[in-house]
Amino acid sequence: MKITKLLVANRGEIAVRIFRTCRRLGIATVAVYSDADRAAMHVRDADEAVHIGAAPASESYLRIEAILAAAATTGANAIHPGYGFLSENAAFAEAVLAAGLAWLGPPSAAIRAMGPKDEAKRIAEEAGVPVLPGYRGEAQDISTLTKAAEKVGYPLLIKAVAGGGGRGIRQVSKVSELEVELISAVREAESSFGDGRVMLEKLVERPRHIEVQVFGDQHGNVVHLFERDCSLQRRRQKVIEEAPAPGMPEAVRKAMTDAAVKLAKAVGYQGAGTVEFIVDGSKPLAQDTFWFLEMNTRLQVEHPVTEMITGTDLVEWQILVASGGKLPLKQKDIKLSGHAFEARICAEDPAEGFRPGAGLILEFGLLEEPDGESLRWDAGFESGDRVPSNYDSMIAKLIVHGETREAALEHLTATLAHTQLCGVPSNAGFLRRCALSDEFAHGTHHVNWIGDNLDALAAVPQVHRASALSAVATLLLDDDGAESPWDLHDGFRLNSVPRRDVLLAADGAAGLVDPDAPIADGTPFPLVTDLSPRRFAVTCGGDTFLVTVPEFSADADAALGGNVVKAPMPGKVLSVFAKSGAAVTRGETLAVLEAMKMEHALVAPRDGVVEAVHASAGQQVADGDVLVLLVEE
């Protein structure tokens, strides 16, 4: 079937990225959108757009019948699922084909085979692919799982059988932790995947995560496009990915890629897929240090780094394969060139436990213009867009390429230094601090490395804030264009030494700023964007500050903030631990909120006594709703 009009059953940057390839190939595009995405970038970018429901994904992006109706209404003859949502839903794949449309994904049989992690590991074992020891039985009672855990040995991991994206995974160090972590993992798995079954797996204590990109066609051909290292993770979600993996010997690369291709052939794989391996990072890479983890039966978030080192367009390959064509390259013709990194730009605050943020983006973009070859910018939002609270916090991907890993890494850190995101929280500075670390530079980081060093990585350096304030103060005191001595901002004072101070506020904290105060050597130069006469977006080292010239008015909330625990975003209250009259200590968890597909612990801002509780489990709350009030003890 020749694909003439493609509907993307997804949103954000992946939809925009797919549309880019479609435009180059002359294929018409259709976007679908929820209430929350009515004015979204992917809607503006498509040739046509169809509304499919309310903001919650269950009422829009997960509605198969609504997506098929949108295809019928617009005359689309193919559907691309993107990633997340319905991308690995076998029933969706079957429904698309039953409607007479082309499906830009693998066969439903491969999705079903590789979906449950326990079944995927069984198939991998039969195909001769190395698998970690663990428990993958049907019995899910606590007694059976406790006995199985003893056999596997501690420490171990609890994993949701239907899991993905780091959800439904818990680490258990000793038997006394098992039951509590099981309850938590099952609850998250049921909430995220509608399937609470879990499996147990022996824990690799210093793990690396290396995956292989595979691709198959309808004619039995399967190739690999080398490997990616995705070991830099927070809460088991990828942060920065790279290709190829650092320190990868050719013999190990061959063993790993051969295993990936073998597994893909075992399930009759077609289209783009990724075979993931867990690697023992405590020793050099060898043929006996990696084990099969899972297979993702879709295009991965990090596919651009593979495209950068192989000179391919994997979405174009998907279109070709779905149309019945053969793979455009044979294995011997796929060459590896240079090194690439991808950094996931998220609207989240690493210093607040990676709390996602929602709201209006005041300024968003790069200082350097992307050329698509050495620098690529896959974004689903731009300045003036509103980030909704209903979906994942990733809003863009920064991808760089260099002839060597060192050159690519230097380009990455330089670009992150001036990646500006203002109006919602940004993780760009955090990403840059990770990339600048000695461990990342030497490729010795591992999956748990961020967790082990989180305080240092998440903290915004004071010198970045000082530099941002100084830059705005200097701008405001600029004497260019002064027509008389009375217009000069030279700090002249009668019978005293000159002094130049400006009252400024950065993210709400006000103070006098001396633009002539020295800034530490090596501090990245600040990027200043004038938002309005009294507001500036300033980025230094990837950390963006909203700097304002404050007005002299009282802020009642500032006075009360130490006694109030508010919902940081719209969501559902899962648990409430605070009890009226109970004494609490600073940092103690008072409630747990579920929002943007994650659980968020809301803690006491200081020691005190609970005066009132305004929330209950199961309650839907809005951004800023007061959940708990404290008083001094």
**pLDDT of 109-167, one tens digit each?**
999 999 888 889 999 999 999 998 899 898 999 999 999 999 999 999 999 998 776 78
Q: What is the pLDDT of residue 559?
A: 34
Q: Which residues, including other chains, have CB under 8 Å from residue 185's CB and lie 6 or more apart?
A: 158, 159, 160, 168, 169, 170, 198
Mean pLDDT of the chain: 91
Q: What is the pLDDT of residue 551?
A: 60
For the chain, what percentages of helix, strand and coil (3-state, to nearest 5) are there?
30, 30, 40
Domain range for 64 is 5-104
Which of 60, 73, 54, 55 is CA-nearest to residue 7?
A: 73
Of 461, 480, 457, nearest to 526 (Cα)? 461
The answer to whether residues 420 and 324 belong to one domain is: yes
Give the lowest-confidence range in 150-154, 356-360, 515-519, 552-556: 552-556
Digit-coded pLDDT (tens) for 279-312: 999 999 999 999 999 999 999 999 999 999 999 9
User: Are the C-beta atoms of residues 563 and 631 closer than 8 Å to each other?
Assistant: yes
My answer on whether omega of the bond before 244 falls inside 30° of 0, hence cis, is: yes
505 and 436 share one domain: no
Is 42 inside a domain boundary? yes
Sign, CA dihedral 123-126-128-132, equals positive
- Whole-angstrom Cα distance, residue 456 to residue 433? 9
Q: In 320-360, at which residue ranges do the beta strands (DSSP E only) sit?
A: 339-346, 348-349, 355-356, 359-360
CATH code at position 367: 3.30.470.20
**Of 337, 353, 348, the residue nearest 403 (C-alpha):** 337
Token duo for residue 392:
């994942």
**Residue 128 included in any domain:** no
Identify whether 114 is part of a domain. no
In this structure, the answer to whether residues 324 and 435 fall within a common structural domain is: yes
Q: Which of 446, 468, 488 is the last residue of a domain?
A: 446
Q: Is the model's pLDDT at 555 over the cut of 50? A: no
User: Could you tell me if 252 and 197 lie in one domain?
Assistant: no
395 neighbors 346 (Cβ within 8 angstroms): yes
562 and 539 housed in the same domain: no
CB 185 within 8 A of CB 198: yes
253 is catalytic: no
Report the run of H or E that residue 381 belongs to, with start and end: none
Distance CA 65, CA 63 (A): 6
State whether 415 and 324 are in the same domain.
Answer: yes
Q: Which two tokens stand for residue 617?
A: 């489990």
- CATH number for position 589: 2.40.50.100
Catalytic residue among 298, 355, 432, 465: 298
Shared domain for 235 and 155, answered yes or no, is: no
For residue 499, the model assigns a pLDDT of 55
**Which of the pair, 47 or 1, is modelled with greater confidence?**
47
Q: What is the pLDDT of residues 317-336, one digit of tens each?
A: 999 999 999 999 999 999 99
Q: Report the pLDDT value the prediction gives residue 534, as an integer from 0 to 100.
A: 84
Residue 121 within any structural domain of the chain: no
Q: Cβ distance 158 to 175 under 8 Å?
A: no
Q: Do 376 and 331 lie in a common domain? A: yes
- Regarding whether 223 and 159 lie in a shared domain, the answer is no
Q: Where are the beta strands (DSSP E) in 207-360?
A: 207-216, 222-234, 237-243, 271-280, 290-296, 339-346, 348-349, 355-356, 359-360
Whose CA is closest to 252, among 229, 268, 272, 232?
229
Q: How many domains does the chain have?
A: 5
